[in-house]
Amino acid sequence: MSKKHVIETNQEEAIKEQEKVDKKVNKEANKVSPEVQVVHPAGIQTGKIYISSSYNNTILTLTNAKGQVLAWKSAGSVGFKGTKKSTSFAASRVAETIANVCKKMGIVDRIEVLVKGIGAGRESAVRTLITQGLNVVSIKDITPIPHNGCRPKKVRRV
């Protein structure tokens, strides 16, 4: 067995990394034109967050009410690699970054969450979105379920 390398980051490096993320989020927020954002008649901004959780990864997509993608994050883009991408901890980190993007864009008033797939990150991502201060209005499960399936093969005759 080889020695394990421990990477230590100091406060300054962490701040620089956070500034890079903030700049990227601000660029994404500037790309969204006013006609793309759907505003509720009472001035409330609405959005949808799609959580796609598989055995290998967790992907969160932020859209407006029309379904146009505003931002997306996955466990791989947050910094996890290999089997760590499929953990519930990675899903909660992804949900934190999407919540920060929502706050930067000002979409915190009404958020619908749509969950799809069977992975470890389903529930932890939803819980993290709620604890981050987003006003989650509804949670729907849109996992595709086969009903009756395809036609079976005909019986083999010998």
CATH of residue 103's domain is 3.30.420.80
Instruction: Specify if 98 maps to a domain.
Output: yes
User: 49 and 62 in contact (C-beta within 8 Å)?
Assistant: yes
Q: How many domains does the chain have?
A: 1
pLDDT tens by residue, 117-128: 998 999 999 999
- b/e burial code for range 116-130 (CB count within 10 A of at least 16 → b): bbebbbbebbbebbb
Model pTM score: 0.72
CA 66 from centre of chain: 18
Residue 1 has pLDDT above 80, yes or no: no
Instruction: Specify if 1 maps to a domain.
Output: no
Instruction: Specify if 86 maps to a domain.
Output: yes
Instruction: Specify if 132 maps to a domain.
Output: yes
Q: In this predicted structure, what is the pLDDT of residue 140? A: 96
Instruction: Specify if 117 maps to a domain.
Output: yes
Residue 23 backbone class (left: φ over 0; alpha: ψ -120 to 50; beta: rest)? alpha
pLDDT band at 70 (very low <50, low <70, confident <90, very high): very high
CA-based end-to-end distance of the chain? 56
Instruction: Specify if 152 maps to a domain.
Output: no
Instruction: Considering only residues 13 and 91, tell me which one the structure prediction assigns the higher pLDDT.
Output: 91
Q: In this predicted structure, what is the pLDDT of residue 15? A: 74
- How do 58-63 and 110-116 pair as beta strands? unpaired
Domain extent for 74: 38-141
Instruction: Specify if 111 maps to a domain.
Output: yes
